[in-house]
Amino acid sequence: MCVEPIPLSRCALPSHHARTVAVHAGQRLDRRSFCADVAAAAAALQHRTESCHALYHEDAYPFAVLLFALWHSNKKVIIPGNNCQVTADELAGQGVALIGAWHGRESTLASPAEVNIELHALNPTDTSVTLFTSGSNGRPKAIVKNLLQLQREIDALEAQWGRLLGESAAAATVSHQHIYGLLFRLLWPLASGRCFHSQLFLSPEPMLKALAGQPAYWVASPAQLKRLDELTDWAQIAKFSAIFSSGGPLPPNAATQIERLCGQQVIEVYGSSETGGIAWRRSAQDTRWTPFAGIGLSRSEDGRCLLTSPYLPDAVAYPMDDRIELHDEGRFSLLGRLDRIVKVEEKRLSLDALENALSQSGWVEQAHCLLLSNRRDRVAAAIVLTESGLEALRHQGRAAIFKSLRRQLQRAFESVVLPRKWLFFDSLPMTRQGKIDHALLRQLFALDSAKYPQLLYCRIAINSAELEFRIQPELVYFNGHFPGMPILPGVTQLAWAEHYGKLFFSIEQPFLTMEAVKFKKIILPDALIKMALEWRDEAGKLYFDLSSVSESHSSGRMLYGARP
């Protein structure tokens, strides 16, 4: 432990400590500055009549200032998972005031001429925050956490790893708008006397540069850790006092690679927004989970995990959707989710088991299966291929890959439950919280084959995407354009570029115009086309280029934003 811990209820009370609380915008801010900033914001909030505020800010320091100011102003606090236009509209429609960074929708706090306010310790049971998690129907589910629950989690984390972290600062590539990031990158360091870096880093490279060799621990997600490769600065990664991962399982090969190349044993944390932290493991060493102190686990007849926890609102056993196997010394293994048991043509299917079977193929590195329900239920599979799988794809083609995988699956599964739709990715699409982006996958699988090209392969990065298509002759756009010489219309190419751009990137601004659009070469039926997309958020520009192996067919950029 760095210094005497400070309860969350007293973190914003006047202090003479000069210890650094945060690094924000290139400045090191101490506790006195933090407390003064909270007091100033609380004074400004006194003049606001709204009782409930939705707080969003990518930077952790201004977020923390506003969070504690709202608490000390007796305001209800909602922490949404994003600041998208739809989210802002829904909250505003419910009478919730927006505060923080909302693309111009928020009402800013006026700086008071004089700060004449005395802050008192917060009531741990009456002070709360509302977070959101994905509900079973796809809509966000509200979860209320009071300060006492959050404090208990922080105490458990400090007891478990405080000595390991020492005076390390928190640096994160996950958002604090969800419970994992809120605790690990903000509230835990704040209450334990550690510094946190305000910036949300999008990748390890800028994070390592900002740390400049200073002691730190990394708050990461499985998606980010899986992307580490031979170009990673492993010597710098090795210097972290710890690497934490949560939000989903870290593949064993990723954990093993990290330990092999830099000696770091990633600490995985298992839990949820509803339950808080449940257990931890170092998966490169052991696949079994160790519960945190105070956590009680039992198993129902169907294998369901029944949880008792000091982080829950009461002592009643909480039924989870995960199946577990209990071992000695209170440890356990996860066996998959009960809600991933689906019915296809009245046949029960474990999507987890199907994914595991696919992953046992030498061609599949990672698989994610989902049930598509339309006129009939069908299973779809999103696949990341191994190097040998990519080699087979290049030399044998997609049809041969599918046939081989289906033949292997038929050893254990009935034909009716096998995947009917397939998509290949370089890595599975993830949300910013490190979870598989089910919404994006469903939209890709649902594309109308009469109106959109056949998607063969997909590479997705933060602000770019590269898609490989086959332009099937059956597309409606070839009808009459032109008789005897079908050509893909240019307007269709533009429509596709915008459609996929809005699928992959958060383009919420209205369309303004197009620039530098060029149609260089016609596209014929059965052509194999690569579409490259790049979104530049600050400029509000979507760049696109459609090309084949030998030449570019069309390119340009689309502009989005408010009209002047």
Tens of pLDDT, residue by residue over 88-111, are: 999 999 999 999 999 877 667 877
Calculate the alpha carbon distances from 256 to 130, 357, 367, 405 in Å: 37, 21, 19, 26
Residue 546 located in a structural domain: yes
Give mean pLDDT, residues 305-326.
Answer: 94
> According to the model, what pLDDT value does residue 26 have?
94
pLDDT in tens, 18-28: 899 999 999 99
Q: Decide if pLDDT at 229 tops 90.
A: no
- Residue 214 pLDDT level (bands cut at 50, 70, 90): very high
Give mean pLDDT, residues 52-64.
Answer: 97
**Percentage of residues in the chain having pLDDT higher than 90:** 77
Q: Decide if pLDDT at 136 tops 70.
A: no
* Burial label, 194 (beta-carbon count in 10 A; 0-12, 13-18, 19+): buried
Mean residue pLDDT across the chain? 92
pLDDT in tens, 247-286: 888 888 889 999 999 999 999 999 999 999 999 999 777 8
**Percentage of residues in the chain having pLDDT higher than 70:** 97
> According to the model, what pLDDT value does residue 252 have?
86
Tokens linked to 16: 């003479």
Give mean pLDDT, residues 353-368.
Answer: 94
Residue 204 located in a structural domain: no
Residue 195 located in a structural domain: no
- d(C-alpha 417, C-alpha 406), whole Å: 10
To the question of pTM greater than 0.85 for the whole model, the response is no
- Report whether 561 contacts 537 (CB < 8 A): no
- d(C-alpha 391, C-alpha 385), whole Å: 9
- d(C-alpha 244, C-alpha 228), whole Å: 15
- Report whether 197 contacts 210 (CB < 8 A): yes
> According to the model, what pLDDT value does residue 94 have?
95
Give mean pLDDT, residues 536-541.
Answer: 93
> According to the model, what pLDDT value does residue 3 have?
62
Tokens linked to 283: 């998966």
Residue 63 located in a structural domain: no
Of 134-143, 150-159, 477-486, 513-522, least confident by mean pLDDT is: 134-143
* Strand (E) or helix (H) holding 137: none
Residues of the domain holding 555 = 341-560
- Residue 157 pLDDT level (bands cut at 50, 70, 90): very high
Give mean pLDDT, residues 311-338.
Answer: 92
- Residue 1 pLDDT level (bands cut at 50, 70, 90): very low
Tally the domains of the chain. Answer: 1
> According to the model, what pLDDT value does residue 550 have?
86
Residue 189 located in a structural domain: no
Q: Is 276 left (phi over 0), alpha (psi -120 to 50) or beta?
A: left
> According to the model, what pLDDT value does residue 283 have?
79
- Residue 113 pLDDT level (bands cut at 50, 70, 90): low
Which residues face 543 on adjacent strands?
534, 557
> According to the model, what pLDDT value does residue 468 have?
97
- Report whether 81 contacts 177 (CB < 8 A): yes
DSSP string, 185-223: IIIHHHHHT--EEEEE-SSHHHHHHHHTT--EEEEE-HH
- Non-local CB neighbours of 83 within 8 Å, separated by 6+ positions: 56, 100, 101, 102, 103
Residue 431 located in a structural domain: yes
> According to the model, what pLDDT value does residue 139 have?
65
Residue 168 located in a structural domain: no
- Residue 137 pLDDT level (bands cut at 50, 70, 90): very low
Give mean pLDDT, residues 170-193.
Answer: 97
- Domain harbouring 543, CATH code: 3.10.129.10
- d(C-alpha 67, C-alpha 360), whole Å: 46
Radius of gyration of the chain (CA): 26
DSSP string, 330-369: G-EEEEEEGGGEEEETTEEEEHHHHHHHHHTSTTEEEEEE
- d(C-alpha 176, C-alpha 181), whole Å: 4
- Residue 429 pLDDT level (bands cut at 50, 70, 90): very high
Angle, alpha carbons 45-48-49 (nearest 5°): 135
Residue 182 located in a structural domain: no
- Helix (H/G/I), strand (E/B), else coil: 493: helix
Give mean pLDDT, residues 214-235.
Answer: 92
